[in-house]
């Protein structure tokens, strides 16, 4: 009796398997876009709408503020804090709205923001070595952004010839504190340009 049951069981399983395979093919084209990303998108849009009336400068200044906080975390070799601040910066970047700029500036700004957002997001999930690699390009993006948006703050573009064939970053202070090396070579670099 026991063997009969087992045989029936195995046959049922085999039948299910055959059915499954045909089912699966039928569903091949079904889209499986994850729900979470849609919801995420929605909340992003809300944020954008709410901030629409804010003045442009304030948005650029917010991005700069987040950038400097992130820089300070890297100067302090603080991986965890840099992750958090990378995320904060990514949010500020996403809420930037270039619609009041001329067509050329708009397309340039949108390119910058898109690229910078990607780097900020990577920083929010990487180890410190990777964070610094992304910070290099992020710094270039933010510098190019400031060239278009301008800023009220006096900025210093600093340069370290040792990191990755020579690398720049922005600072609010003239005093050099190196975000690419942190404590291991804190003073490497010099001011190469003043903005404002």
**Buried b / exposed e along 117-145 (16+ C-beta atoms within 10 A):** bbbbbbbbebebeebbbbbbebbbbbbbb
User: Are residues 96 and 60 in contact, defined by beta-carbon separation less than 8 angstroms?
Assistant: yes
Residues in region 131-190 near another protein by CB under 8 A: 133, 137, 141
The residue range among 17-25, 145-153, 172-180, 183-191 that interacts with another protein, by the rule CB under 8 A, is: 17-25
User: Quick check: helix, strand or coil at residue 178?
Assistant: coil
192 is a site residue for another protein (CB under 8 A): no
Residues in region 29-68 near another protein by CB under 8 A: 30-32
CA–CA gap between residue 77 and residue 42 (Å, rounded): 35
20 is a site residue for another protein (CB under 8 A): yes
CA–CA gap between residue 37 and residue 55 (Å, rounded): 29
Q: Which of 8, 11, 23, 50 binds another protein (CB under 8 A)?
A: 23
Residues in region 79-138 near another protein by CB under 8 A: 111-112, 114-115, 118-119, 133, 137
Chain residues that interact with another protein, rule: CB under 8 A: 9, 13, 16-17, 20-21, 23-24, 27-28, 30-32, 111-112, 114-115, 118-119, 133, 137, 141
């Amino acid at each position: 009796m026991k063997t009969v049951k087992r045989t029936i069981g195995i046959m049922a399983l085999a039948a299910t398997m055959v059915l499954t395979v045909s089912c699966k093919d039928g569903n091949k084209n079904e889209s499986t876009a994850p729900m979470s990303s849609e919801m995420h998108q929605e909340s992003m849009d809300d944020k954008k709408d709410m901030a629409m009336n804010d003045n442009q400068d304030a948005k650029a200044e917010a991005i700069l503020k987040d950038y400097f906080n992130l820089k300070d975390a890297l100067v302090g070799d603080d991986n965890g804090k840099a992750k958090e601040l990378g995320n904060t910066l990514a949010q500020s970047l996403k809420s930037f709205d270039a619609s009041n700029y001329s067509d050329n500036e708009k397309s340039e700004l949108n390119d910058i923001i898109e690229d910078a957002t990607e780097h900020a997001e990577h920083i929010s999930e990487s180890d410190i070595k990777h964070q610094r690699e992304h910070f290099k390009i992020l710094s270039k993006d933010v510098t190019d952004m400031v060239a278009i948006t301008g800023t009220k703050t006096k900025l210093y573009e600093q340069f370290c010839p040792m990191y990755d064939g020579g690398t720049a970053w922005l600072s609010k202070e003239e005093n050099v504190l190196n975000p690419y090396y942190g404590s291991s070579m804190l003073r490497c670099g010099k001011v190469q340009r003043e903005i404002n």
